[in-house]
Amino acid sequence: MASLSRTLRFAALIRPSAVLSVVPRAATVGCLHTLTSRESRLSNTTLLSAITKATSGVRSYSAKEPLTLDLIQQRVMLVLKLYDKVNPDKLAVDSHFMQDLGLDSLDHVEVIMAMEDEFGFEIPDGDAEKLLRPADIIRYVADKEDIYE
Amino acid sequence: MTRDYSLVIMFMLRTEALKLYRNILRQLNNLPDKEQRKEIKDWARSDFEAHRHHEDENTIRSLLYQGQKQLEELEKSIRRANS
């Protein structure tokens, strides 16, 4: 009995169908077997499905995560919230950096640089000086990344 | 009329100063050490703040020129540090 359970435990590590062929169908052993094989089958399939999900699917060339307007907004607002000179209570999508949030032009330069770091592309000076609200930045990034909704 | 002209000049100088600040920050991205980056950024910011109040065109121009020279030095030393 002990050796049987030992073989069963070892066999449960291998694929369940292999276990079925090896272990004789005694009632108690059968119960134990279905329990362990169910949970190992479960872990096998979830592992397998995780692998297939990760490797198959859409081709990702220079893989950037898919952007949506909502995601851009979340990221822009997060960067602004993390900026220590911004008061998060006053921050809204259409708050003006200088008039509502009390930032100055040097802070504005720092904010735009932070946005460049976040989204991975450079914003030229001419465009940067026009981006005076988070809403402007969101629209600008969406334009640059060709996202329309 | 001379007053309007000087407003335009001040605007141009302000744009130049902001460009200088932006170039300094961009150059700092080439510095791998984050601590140093923050140090130099704060130092540059405090320099800009110290000279915020100037009204005279020539003072501002000479300060911008000095700033540009310091940026070039920064560029050289970063390149040397990275090579």
| Each residue's pLDDT tens digit, B41-60 | 999 999 999 999 998 999 99
In whole angstroms, give the CA distance from residue A39 to residue A37. Answer: 6
B78 token code pair: 């970063």
Q: What single DSSP character describes residue A102?
A: -
Residue A104 among the catalytic residues: yes
Q: With 0-12 CB in 10 A as exposed, 13-18 as middle and 19+ as buried, what is B70? A: middle
Q: If pLDDT is split at 50, 70 and 90, which confidence band does A23 have? A: very low
Collapse the DSSP code of B24 into the 3-class scheme (helix H, G, I; strand E, B; otherwise coil) and give the result: helix
Residue-level pLDDT at A29:
47
Residue-level pLDDT at B75:
94
Asked if pLDDT for residue A5 goes beyond 80, the answer is: no
Chain B residues whose CB is inside 8 A of the A125 CB are: 18-19, 22
Count other C-beta atoms under 10 Å from residue B17's C-beta.
20
Q: Given an 8 Å threshold on Cβ–Cβ distance, is B26 in contact with A113?
A: yes
B14 touches A at CB < 8 Å:
yes
Q: Given an 8 Å threshold on Cβ–Cβ distance, is A106 in contact with B21?
A: yes
Query: Longest Cα pair distance anywhere in chain A, in angstroms?
Result: 81
Contact status, residue A45 vs residue A38, Cβ threshold 8 Å:
no
Q: With 0-12 CB in 10 A as exposed, 13-18 as middle and 19+ as buried, what is B80? A: exposed
Considering CB atoms only, which of B25, B29, B49 is closest to A109? B25
Chain A residues whose CB is inside 8 A of the B14 CB are: 105
B54 token code pair: 């100037």
Quote ipTM for the complex.
Answer: 0.88
Considering CB atoms only, which of B22, B25, B48 is closest to A125? B22
| Chain A: closest CA distance from residue B22 (Å) | 6
Residue-level pLDDT at A60:
59
Considering CB atoms only, which of B18, B25, B29 is closest to A105? B18
Residues 6 or more apart whose Cβ sits within 8 Å of residue A97: A103, A107, A108, A111, A132, A133
HSE of B38, CA atoms in CB hemisphere, 13 A:
2
Q: Which amino acid is located at A38 in the chain?
A: R
Tens digit of pLDDT at every position of chain B (83 positions): 555 678 899 999 999 999 999 999 999 998 888 899 999 999 999 999 999 999 899 999 999 999 999 999 999 999 898 87
User: Which residue of A85, A98, A106 to mutate against B (max B Cβ within 10 Å)?
Assistant: A106
For A66-124, what is each residue's pLDDT tens digit? Answer: 778 899 999 999 999 999 999 999 999 999 999 999 999 999 999 999 999 999 999 99
Chain A residues whose CB is inside 8 A of the B45 CB are: 106
